[in-house]
Chain A
Amino acid sequence: EDQVTQSPEALRLQEGESSSLNCSYTVSGLRGLFWYRQDPGKGPEFLFTLYSAGEEKEKERLKATLTKKESFLHITAPKPEDSATYLCAVQARSGNQFYFGTGTSLTVIP
């Protein structure tokens, strides 16, 4: 069964304090791994897609990496506006469904 587990559930950081969010997955043939940001009362906003182990993507203070079993979302020198829930999802080659984890709620304190 395809599964996505995210950790930690919640993370509080001081402004400027770098950290990483984890997404571990089991899927029968990975088509892609996706990171989303979700603000309260909003739909998830697409951040990155990673397709193969060793791939990395960057956007401003965020960097996503992928191995065969997990992905990390690294946040460098975060700012309060980075506070949000970060969701990870996987898509298997065998179907077109996207399976989501429960998310990591990030709070960045000024």
Chain B
Amino acid sequence: EAGVAQSPRYKIIEKRQSVAFWCNPISGHATLYWYQQILGQGPKLLIQFQNNGVVDDSQLPKDRFSAERLKGVDSTLKIQPAKLEDSAVYLCASSRTSGRKWELFFGEGSRLTVL
């Protein structure tokens, strides 16, 4: 079974520039999550999709971050304009349910450096 795919793995940009990250979840996983992980901290949820609908985006800085999940499969997270504090690893994860069991699987992450 293929895992969660993310690209690019690394990105360096100047502040005020824009960047986009792409995620392809595990086949058949209806729920997709974007997390931000700052160095030394645990992952922080940015947005959660169920199929192509948004379930939770309460912690997404909507003035600069946007995300979409077209056709309920791939997802794109965009930052425009980027700030220095956006330097972090952006993790995509997907999950399925099997009865009462939920399991969350992560991609390798996209590391963003804002200069």
User: Which residues of A are in contact with B by a Cβ distance under 8 Å?
Assistant: 4, 6, 31-32, 34, 36, 41-46, 49, 51, 87, 89, 91, 95-103
Contact = CB atoms under 8 A, between A and B. Distances in A.
Contacts of B35: 100
Interface string B72-110: 000000000000000000010101000011111111110
B50 interface: yes
Interface in B20-47: 31, 33, 35, 40-45
A31 B31 CA distance: 16
Given A95-B55, A97-B48, A44 B102 contact: no
Contacts of B93: 43, 98
A21 B78 CA distance: 36
Contact of A46 (B41, B48, B104): B104
B43 A100 contact: yes
Contacts of A41: 108-109, 111
A97 B105 contact: no
B97 to A, nearest CB: 9
A46 B108 contact: no
Contacts of A96: 31, 48, 50, 55, 95, 102
B41 A98 contact: no
A102 B50 contact: no
